[in-house]
Each structure stands twice: as structure tokens, then as C-alpha cells.
């Protein structure tokens, strides 16, 4: 039986009013169209890409114009089902995705909707929530049914808001694969790197080596890394990783920082016939010099990885079973009204922040 919700005409949202400026204000609650649902946001996590959007570094593209509501790592409750929607009903708890492909281009038909060939063309049906169209930093938002996944009952909204982060990690890991009993290097102990570390172990890696620095490297050791390399305390992190593998190199390396120089390091860390997966997003203009002949002669495979296509049901199931822990990565929670403090905590990693989650409708929505 469908639940009936009392939906206000207006609700709070964090609205970007220009580059680097935002305010919490009441905005009209959107009405879902055909194939869409209106959701009450239970939790939304701050992503590493959000500060860039909020600063306006990519204004004109992300976001295309102002006013705008960002936010794309969310979970919540369906409160209204639009025309033609029969697979979801009011009361369903769902986790969201940022990407909705056009649905008909070649890439979308192959399930690669995060690299939709009609990216940015809203008239084709493409939407990128929190980047090109309004996102989840508010109490209510509408979404295509293609961009939501029903949640298991024993997964909280805050945990499900990690569906994007863990899904990004899973996609990058799936592209390269994991050698059962092998060794893996993860560069960058942020939320995606920590998730990649745990997923690699779940998929059979016997040794996961985390490369990073500071409090997050300390966190990686506590959260399950088999070995840690502090690049600020050694001459060459590549050499240190190779020492930990008897000089052979790791089977797979996952670059999760996007920092200049780390792509080259990842290539040098893997064994002959090894694989490199690039999950970190470098800033525009970062160019990397790579050992062309070395890559060719050692048959090193390199995978670019974008977002989290087709991973939500998998990571939610892993969370539900207890095999993929995410609670200990959620270090801070804030109400929407404290968005500025939440953002500052995330950006400056205050109190050893790893993942910061906002609760727009109060504790657990």
C-alpha cells in the first residue's frame, strides 16, 4: 500500500547564487515528470568534486548557470511517483546516482551511461545531477527512475549516501580486475582510495599497499591496509612499493588522488603485465609524462574510470551483508543549515574528517 506524504510547496535547499557564494533558502519543491520520482533526501555526502563546483572553477559548465543546487551523493525516500512509474512507490527507500544517460546512444545501450555520447544535451534526456541539473543539497529533489536503486532495509541513509564513493571504487576495480592472492597498490587514501582498498581485499587481493601521507594514511592503516608508504618520508614511493613485493611489483595499481606525478608512479609500481586503473580526477591542465617504451615492452594495461555505472546494487548488497563497511569512514554529520561548517570541515579535513554527510531533513531523514 502506498504511503501518503505531506509535501510542502517550498523546502530548504543550499543554493549557489554565484561563484563561491551560497545560501540556505526556501525553493519550490519540484514536481516529477514522466519516468521520474520526487524524493525526500535523507542524507547527502560531500564529494571531492563539490568544492570545485561551489567555488565556480567550472562555472558555465558545472554549473551551467545560477542559481543552482549541487550535491550528488545521496539517499532518501520516494514521496511521489510520476506518470508511468510503477516500479517505485511512495515510501520506497532509495540510493541515487549522479548520471542519467540519454538511454539510446551506443554507449548507453552498452551500459556505459557515465560516458553518454549526448553528455550535456538535456534535450536528449541526458542529466548529470548536481553538475548540470539541480542536485541533492536540499530537502527534496526529483530524479529519473534510471538513477535510483532500492535500498536494503538494514542500510541507513548515511551509509547509502556512500553508494557513489564505493561505486566509483568498485567500477575502477572491476575494469582492471583483481588477481586472487596478489598484491595491489592504492595511491591516495581519501574516501575513494579507502573504498578501493577494501573492495580489492573483498575481491581476493592478499596484500594491499596504501600510498599517501598524514592523518589519512594513518586512517588507512587502521581501516585495513596491509602496508603503508608515506611518500613524504621516503626517496621513492615506487621503490618502497616494489620492496614490499619482493622487487616484482604489484599486480594492479589504483590511482585515486589525481595528483601530478602519481600516474607515472602507478605505471612503475605494477609488475610486467600489470594493470593501472585511474580513479582520481586530475585538475584541468595536468599533463603526465609516461615511459612509452616501458609501458609497451612490459605490456602494462591502463584504464580510465569514470563514476559508478551499474555498481549501486552491488555495493548496497555488500553493505547489507556486512562485507563492505562504510560507517567508519563517515566521520561527521551536519544539518543542512550548517552547510558552510560542513564544507569547511571537509575541505580542511578538520578533526581528521574523511567523509562528511549532511542530513537535510534531520537525523536519518
Domains assigned to the chain: 10-162+326-359 (3.90.180.10), 166-304 (3.40.50.720)
Grid coordinates given for 10: 517550498
What confidence score (pLDDT) does residue 1 get?
58
What confidence score (pLDDT) does residue 363 get?
82
The dihedrals phi and psi of 131, each to the nearest 5 degrees, come to -120, -55
The dihedrals phi and psi of 179, each to the nearest 5 degrees, come to -85, 115
Q: What is the pLDDT along the chain (365 residues), one digit of tens a residue?
A: 578 899 999 999 999 999 999 999 999 999 999 999 999 999 999 999 999 999 999 999 999 999 999 999 999 999 999 999 999 999 999 999 999 999 999 999 999 999 999 999 999 999 999 999 999 999 999 999 999 999 999 999 999 999 999 999 999 999 999 999 999 999 999 999 999 999 999 999 999 999 999 999 999 999 999 999 999 999 999 999 999 999 999 999 999 999 999 999 999 999 999 999 999 999 988 999 999 999 999 999 999 999 999 999 999 999 999 999 999 999 999 999 999 999 999 999 999 999 999 999 998 75
What confidence score (pLDDT) does residue 4 get?
86
- 3-state secondary structure string, the chain? CCCCCCCCCEEEEEEEEECCEEEEEEEECCCCCCCEEEEEEEEEECCCCHHHHHHCCECCCECCCCCECCCCEEEEEEEEECCCCCCCCCCCEEEECCEECCCCCHHHHCCCHHHCCCCCCHHHCCEEECCCECCCCECEEEEEHHHEEECCCCCCHHHHCCHHHHHHHHHHHHHHCCCCCCEEEEECCCHHHHHHHHHHHHCCCCEEEEEECHHHHHHHHHHCCCEEEECCCCCCHHHHHHHCCCCCCEEEEEECCCCCCHHHHHHHHEEEEEEEEECCCCCCCCCCCCCHHHHHHCCCEEEECCCCCCCHHHHHHHHHHCCCCCHHHEEEEEEHHHHHHHHHHHHCCHHHCCEEEEECCCCCC
Q: What is the rounded CA–CA span in Å between residue 151 and residue 139?
A: 19
Inter-residue contact 185 to 211 (CB < 8 Å): yes
What confidence score (pLDDT) does residue 365 get?
58
Amino acid at each position: 500500500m502506498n504511503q501518503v506524504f505531506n509535501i510542502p510547496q517550498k523546502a530548504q535547499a543550499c543554493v549557489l547564487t554565484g561563484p563561491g557564494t551560497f545560501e540556505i533558502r526556501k525553493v519550490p519543491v519540484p514536481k516529477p515528470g514522466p519516468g521520474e520520482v520526487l524524493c525526500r533526501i535523507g542524507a547527502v555526502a560531500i564529494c571531492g568534486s563539490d568544492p570545485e563546483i561551489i567555488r565556480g572553477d567550472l562555472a558555465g559548465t558545472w554549473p551551467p548557470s545560477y542559481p543552482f543546487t549541487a550535491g550528488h551523493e545521496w539517499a532518501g525516500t520516494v514521496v511521489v511517483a510520476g506518470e508511468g512509474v510503477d516500479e517505485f512507490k511512495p515510501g520506497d527507500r532509495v540510493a541515487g546516482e549522479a548520471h542519467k544517460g540519454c538511454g539510446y546512444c551506443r554507449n548507453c545501450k552498452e551500459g556505459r551511461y557515465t560516458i553518454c555520447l549526448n553528455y550535456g544535451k538535456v534535450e536528449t534526456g541526458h542529466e548529470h545531477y548536481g553538475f548540470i541539473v539541480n542536485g541533492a543539497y536540499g530537502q527534496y529533489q526529483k530524479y529519473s527512475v534510471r538513477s535510483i536503486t532500492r535500498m536494503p532495509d538494514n542500510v541507513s541513509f548515511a551509509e547509502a549516501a556512500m553508494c557513489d564513493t564505493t561505486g566509483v571504487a568498485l567500477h575502477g576495480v572491476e575494469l582492471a580486475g583483481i588477481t586472487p592472492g596478489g598484491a595491489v597498490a592504492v595511491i591516495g587514501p581519501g574516501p575513494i582510495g579507502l573504498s578501493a582498498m577494501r573492495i580489492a581485499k573483498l575481491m581476493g587481493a592478499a596484500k594491499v599497499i596504501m600510498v599517501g601521507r598524514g592523518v589519512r594514511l594513518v586512517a588507512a592503516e587502521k581501516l585495513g591496509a596491509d602496508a603503508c608508504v608515506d611518500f613524504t618520508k621516503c626517496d621513492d614511493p615506487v621503490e618502497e612499493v616494489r620492496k614490499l613485493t619482493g622487487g616484482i611489483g604489484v599486480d594492479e595499481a589504483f590511482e585515486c588522488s589525481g595528483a601530478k606525478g602519481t600516474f607515472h608512479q602507478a605505471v612503475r609500481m605494477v609488475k610486467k603485465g600489470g594493470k593501472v586503473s585511474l580513479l582520481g580526477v586530475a585538475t584541468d591542465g595536468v599533463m603526465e609524462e609516461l615511459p612509452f617504451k616501458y609501458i609497451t615492452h612490459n605490456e602494462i594495461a591502463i584504464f580510465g574510470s569514470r563514476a559508478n555505472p551499474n555498481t549501486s546494487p552491488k555495493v548496497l548488497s555488500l553493505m547489507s551483508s556486512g562485507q563492505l563497511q562504510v560507517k567508519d569512514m563517515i566521520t561527521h554529520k551536519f544539518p543542512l543549515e550548517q552547510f558552510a561548517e560542513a564544507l569547511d570541515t571537509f575541505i580542511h579535513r578538520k578533526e581528521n574528517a574523511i567523509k562528511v554527510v549532511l542530513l537535510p531533513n534531520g537525523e536519518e531523514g
